[in-house]
Amino acid sequence: MGQEKTINGVNVERLEGTVAAIKDKPAIAKFRFRATNKWITGGHNQTYIQGFYGACQEDATRSKPFVLDADEPPILLGEDHGANPVEYVLTALAGCLTTSLVYHAAANGIRIDEVESSLEGDLDLHGFLGLSGQIRNGYENVRVTMKVKSDAPAEKLAEFTRRSPVLDIVSNPVPVTVRVEKK
């Protein structure tokens, strides 16, 4: 058996096999990710991420859940047990932009030597606090700067970031249903 073709830490043969399998059987492209959350106290809560549905089956490869603590900094009345939820949005965006860039570059035979990103989001508490109906509850805008060491042109690399699912989620309205039930 020959050596696996790996670019940017991505097994390109497996990636190509996945693309071919999805073309052959489109249903395997459907995924459902899940998270459960439990409030601890004040702004502190924990999210548990373990199983998901994908490739026409329930995934059972994670023996224990990922546990993510969320809280607020003291200036926002928290105790700083973890990043706050809007910081997790930046984390999710950074991670997904990076993964999209690296995977798509690998699929196109482009080597990436380094990727660093910095993100900033502007949020005005007037919206969250209900002090103004004219100001959003969430980010007014987000700025991302990615520094990439590669021989490929920046424009080509930027194309790959546009495939990011999280970029799509935060850039376009997504229907969200919130149901509150009494325990």
Task: Say which residue the tokens 């991302």 belong to.
Answer: 144
- Write the pLDDT tens digit of every residue in 28-66: 999 999 999 999 999 999 999 999 999 999 998 999 999
- Amino acid sitting at position 116: E
> In 3-state terms, what secondary structure has residue 122?
strand
Distance, in Å, from the CA atom of 45 to the CA atom of 27, rounded to the nearest integer, reads 35
Percentage of residues in the chain having pLDDT higher than 90: 97
Residues 6+ apart with CB under 8 A from 157: 101, 105, 110, 146, 148, 150
Residue 102 in tokens:
């690296």
Phi, psi of 64 (to 5 degrees): -140, 155
Q: Does position 1 have pLDDT exceeding 60, yes or no?
A: no
Q: Are 18 and 29 in contact (CB under 8 A)?
A: no
Contact 72, 87 (CB under 8 A): no
How many secondary structure helices (H) and strands (E) does the chain include? 5, 10
Burial class for 75, CB neighbours closer than 10 Å (0-12, 13-18, 19+): exposed
Total Cβ atoms within 10 A of residue 97? 22
| pLDDT per position as a tens digit, 83-113 | 999 999 999 999 999 999 999 999 999 999 9
